[in-house]
Structure 1
Amino acid sequence: MKTSFLALSVVLASATAASAQVEIGVKISPSVAFLRAESPSSTDFANESSKVSFGGALIVDYFFGENYAFGTGLALTGKGGTISYFEQDPRVPPRPSGNRVNQKIATQYIELPLTLKLFTNELAPATRLYFQLGGSLAAPIATRINGEKFYKDPYDNNNETKASEHVFALDANALLGAGVEYQLGRSTKLLAGLSYHRGLINLDHYFEKTRGFSDVTIKNNVFALDLGMKF
């Protein structure tokens, strides 16, 4: 009985593996990134401007049904933007007035998407839409503050820190996307789509830790144009 059950399990697993289909490809993703910055009114953190970035990715779609796939891969993504905050001059007693300081943060991440992709039937010859929903995990591999690898405090020239120390060592994102796939050949497909990556983790690892600011929150946001090919 046990032997028969084991044999049946092996047959079912083999059939499932045989019916599964894996599609692999690459994409490039020009994007617009900005930072959501919040804090109490005493420091008044705010987003000032976005930055244009360029990234790329390996795409892996593991189909478990004709119109359903687990979408993953490995991506290189640029994130960041310019924020501003209210800096109290340490040379005078605390007072309502002070200086506004801008800080441009640019970080490159290596990212692992974990998503569900839903495909329509053909809406036109060899053409169908896809919708993508899920998230991603990312780790920073390079950071610059105001274009430099080191940051010098504008009010204390002796306080110099590595730009990489300003950013938390892990980021998590909610990911939402949609696009179109076109069957170019027997196994070749072209794709074009839009995706939104909303940061979920506070990336600040400097202002609260080093400067003693309270309740500072800085999170990533990216809108990307995804252009790719599957082989």
Structure 2
Amino acid sequence: MKKRKLLTLCCALLGGFHTHAQTGYDPAPEQAPEERLNRLRIGAVVAPGLAWMKPSAEKDGNQTQRSAGNKLSFMYGLMFDYEFAGNYAISTGLQINSTGGIIETSNPSAAELWASKTHMNYSLQYIELPVAIKLKTDRINNFRIFGQAGLTIGFNIGKKATYEIVQKNSTLGDSIYKTDVKEKLTGGIGVVAPVMFQMNLGTGIQYAVSQNVDAYIGVFFNNGFAPNATDPTKNNKLPKFTDGNTRMNSFSLRLGFYF
């Protein structure tokens, strides 16, 4: 009888070991984050970067226009991820983005009293609502690699610029309009588009610091595609000129935490 009970116990232990070996190591909740579906994760993020404005065409009639340099940008805000499947989430947020760019134009054949040369250094600020589909790998030593793609809608809340503009005047000689101090653009809502749309693409890593906290780092590219970011012909204060359907673009490094 004792031998039979001992044999039964040994078989049970061997069976349990075999099952555990097949399924792999199952860490305790305090050793690894619990993966749950249909949950909302909230995070905080900051993102330093480089921004630039680029005309969609280099030439418009006799006028040429070009991007004349990058500007430092800075974004901060909140992130919201709704994890609706194991490796998939809808990612959104609410963020403030300080950005801008430099545009130069040249038109030797400009009409009388129009601008023959311009140098516009824009400093713009937006409140943004991004929406994206986020794909994540399974956890590997508490790391998850992610990639995401989506759209960002931005509402302009600040528009300033420094500029130097040469106005053609054959009678009195060319006039120069210039300011080295950031000046608020008040020449109508059309000077800077009140709403901007961008395509956002990003990839990065999330690292489980604890059961419920992930550190977050990513590299993102934002490509503005509509509408024309600026329309200087609507500015009643400055000489008339165009800038070739300017788009807003940026690269940024995002750093943050999910809770």
Q: Structure 2 vs 1, CA of residues 25 and 157 (structure 1 numbering), >3 Å: closer, same or farther? A: same
The 1:216/1:208 distance shift into structure 2, 3 A limit, reads farther
Judge conservation of contact 2:53–2:101 (CA < 8 Å) in 1. yes
- Within the candidate set 207, 212, 223, 2:251 is matched to 223
How many residues are aligned here? 206
User: Relative to structure 1, is the Cα distance of residues 214 and 229 closer, same or farther in structure 2, using a 3 angstrom cutoff?
Assistant: closer
- In structure 1, what residue type is equivalent to 2:52? F
Q: Cα–Cα, structure 1 residues 172 and 183, in superposed 2: closer, same or farther, change >3 Å?
A: same
The one-character-per-residue Cα deviations of 1:115-155 (angstroms, maximum 9, x if unpaired) are 00000112x31001000101110011111111xxxx78653
Q: Distance in 2 between matches of 1:93 and 1:68?
A: 57
2:228 corresponds to 1:200: no
Matched, 1:84 2:104: yes
* Residue 30 (structure 1) aligned to one of 29, 48, 60: 48
Give structure 2 stretches of 5+ with no counterpart.
Answer: 1-35, 168-174
Residue 143 of structure 2 is aligned to residue 127 of structure 1: yes
Residue 216 of structure 1 and its aligned partner are, at CA, apart by: 2.4
Which string of whole-angstrom CA distances, capped at 9 and with x for unpartnered residues, describes residues 36-73 of structure 1? 11341422111010101111120000110011000001
TM-score normalised by structure 1 residue count: 0.79
Paired residues for 1:182-193 under 5 Å: 182-193=207-218
The CA RMSD measured in Å over matched residues stands at: 3.0
Change (3 A) 1:93 1:206: closer
Q: Is the 8 A contact 2:232 2:241 kept in 1?
A: no
After TM superposition, list the pairs within 5 Å mapping 1:169-184 onto structure 2: 169-184=194-209
Aligned equivalent of 1:20, options 24, 34, 38 = 38
Once the two structures are superposed, the pairs formed by residues 101-116 of structure 1 within 5 Å of their partners are: 101-116=118-133
CA contact (8 A) 1:207 1:216 kept: no
Q: Distance in 2 between matches of 1:188 and 1:130?
A: 16
Counterpart of 2:217 in structure 1: which amino acid?
A
Match of 1:75 in 2: 95
- Check if 1:136 corresponds to 2:152: yes
1:163 is the counterpart of 2:188 = no
In structure 1, stretches of 5+ residues that fail to align are 1-17
**Local SS of the residue matching 2:219:** strand
Identity %, equivalent residues? 25
Equivalent residues of 1:136, 1:173 under 8 A apart: yes
Q: Which has the larger radius of gyration?
A: 2
> TM-score if structure 2 supplies the norm length?
0.71
Deviation at 1:214, TM superposition (A): 6.0
Report deviation, 1:100. 3.5
Structure 1 residues 162 and 24: CA distance shift in structure 2, 3 A: same
Partner secondary structure for residue 114 of structure 1? strand
Alpha-carbon distance between aligned partners in 2 of 1:86 and 1:153, rounded to the nearest angstrom: 10
Q: Residue 44 of structure 1: which of 64, 78, 86 is its match?
A: 64
Contact kept, 8 Å, 2:64 with 2:107, in 1: the verdict is no
Paired letter, 1:130: F
Q: CA deviation at 1:91?
A: 9.1
Structure 1 residues 92 and 65, CA gap change in structure 2 (3 angstroms): closer
Indicate how the Cα distance of structure 1 residues 207 and 93 shifts in structure 2: closer, same or farther if over 3 A, else same.
closer
